[in-house]
């Protein structure tokens, strides 16, 4: 899988992310880590150009969803599981290990909760490669910002405008 591993994609993602971060810094005084993470994910999904389910799911998700909503959902569910508990336990014993692992995986990859095993594994491969690139890019940006202005090599400025 060549996708997500090319230098060009890395550059595109890094610069888009950096632009997005600069923009958000201008509009609000501080960016929380959570908002930043969300921005990084959305830019990653945009870079995928709508070709994968996980990327479309990220873009379709509401921005900065409050954790309060999640708590409400949990409250509703507990009432039902108390009634269903005996049935669920029996089911778990019957389910093969592989099925259980697949279910866990479905929860980790965005937008893939009801995906068939086949497609799930395809999406997972792509998602992992994308996440790895995200880590590389964000590490690079962090290093640049940590180094600061003093260590920026001036002889490289001549190659601006290659893109």
Partner 1 sequence: MSGRRSRSKQSSVSSITDDQITDLVSKLQHLIPELRRRRFDKVSTSKVLQETCNYIRSLHREVEDLSDRLSQLLASTDSDSDQAAIIRSLLMQ
Q: Under the rule (CB under 8 A), what is the footprint of partner 1?
A: 1, 11, 14-15, 18-19, 21-22, 25-26, 30-37, 40-41, 93-94, 96-99, 101-102, 104-105, 108-109, 116-118, 121-122, 124-125, 127-129, 131-132, 134-135, 138-142, 144-146, 148-149, 152, 156-157, 159-160, 162-163
Question: Could you give the CA distance from residue 38 to residue 149 in angstroms, rounded to a whole number?
Answer: 27
- Shortest reach from residue 110's CB to partner 1, in Å: 11
The Cα 118–Cα 113 span in angstroms is 13
Considering beta carbons, is residue 78 or 89 the nearer one to partner 1?
89
Q: Is 68 or 151 the residue whose CB approaches partner 1 more closely?
A: 151
- We find the least distance from the C-beta atom of residue 75 to partner 1, in angstroms, to be 26
Smallest separation, CB 155 to partner 1 (Å): 12
**Complex with partner 1: residue 24 or 56, whichever CB lies closer:** 24
Q: Which is nearer to partner 1, 32 or 81 (CB)?
A: 32
Largest CA-CA distance found in the chain, in angstroms, rounded: 70
Which of residues 78 and 159 has its CB atom nearest to partner 1 in the complex?
A: 159
Q: At what angle do helices 7-27 and 117-147 cross, to 10 degrees?
A: 70
φ/ψ (deg, to 5) at 48: -75, -15
Closest CA to 16 of 6, 8, 28: 8
**To the nearest whole angstrom, how small is the minimum distance from the Cβ of residue 62 to partner 1?**
19
How far apart are CB 128 and partner 1 at their closest, in Å?
A: 5
Instruction: Tell me if 33 sits within 8 A of 46, measured CB to CB.
Output: no
| 100-130 core/surface letters (b: 16 or more CB in 10 A; e: else) | eebeebbeebbbbeebeeeebebbbebbeeb
């Amino acid at each position: 899988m060549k996708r997500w591993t090319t230098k060009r994609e890395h550059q595109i993602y890094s610069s888009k992310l950096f632009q997005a971060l600069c923009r958000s810094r201008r509009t609000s005084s501080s960016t929380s880590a959570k908002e930043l993470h969300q921005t990084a994910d959305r830019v990653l999904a945009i870079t995928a150009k709508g070709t994968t389910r996980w990327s479309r799911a990220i873009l379709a998700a509401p921005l900065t969803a409050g954790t309060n909503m999640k708590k409400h959902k949990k409250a509703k569910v507990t009432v039902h599981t108390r009634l269903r508990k005996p049935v669920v336990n029996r089911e778990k014993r019957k389910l093969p290990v592989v099925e259980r692992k697949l279910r866990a995986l479905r929860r980790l990859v965005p937008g893939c909760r009801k995906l068939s095993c086949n497609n799930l594994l395809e999406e997972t491969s792509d998602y992992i490669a994308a996440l790895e690139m995200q880590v590389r890019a964000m590490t690079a940006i962090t290093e640049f910002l940590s180094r600061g202005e003093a260590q920026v090599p001036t002889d490289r400025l001549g190659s601006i405008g290659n893109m």
